[in-house]
Structure 1
Amino acid sequence: MASSGFSVYVGNIPYNATEEDIGNMFSSCGVVTNVRIVYDRETNRPKGFGFCEFQDQQGAQNAVTNMNGAELYGRPLRVNIASK
């Protein structure tokens, strides 16, 4: 997932947020091709971070520029280009 040059890391995701919430929010930055929230394998609860993939590099860059610090359910998101 994070190996694509068009993925962004999304941190500080509220535990009640869904992948659909993230996709809808980030669609204003570009064409979202995939969203994945990471879950704990033992508890099956969200870990509070995930990844959002875009169709192109511009969408990913727009997400970092426009969504870093944006609030979702009262929590400021941390958004960075995903490391490879």
Structure 2
Amino acid sequence: MTKLIAFGDSIFAGWDGKENVSANQRIPELIGQQLGWQVTNVAIGGTKYDDSSNGFTAMVNKTDVTGFDYALVSYGVNNFSWP
């Protein structure tokens, strides 16, 4: 089976702008359902695409990506530390 790992912020973690949706309704999981892939979603709300202790680089460094066929990365424009 094809394996996908997803890195991201609140959007991939399930935030729809008003509330958190269930795990099977998150974007990476919906993609996996459509393609018949196994999905591991390590997205964390509030993280940024930066080098902080819980940012993208730290998230990747602490995650074993061995065995995954694809990686999906998504961060919103507000996560680039722009005002």
TM over 0.5: no
More helix by share: 2
Give 1 or 2 for the bigger CA radius of gyration: 2
TM-score (norm: length of structure 1): 0.31
TM-score (norm: length of structure 2): 0.31
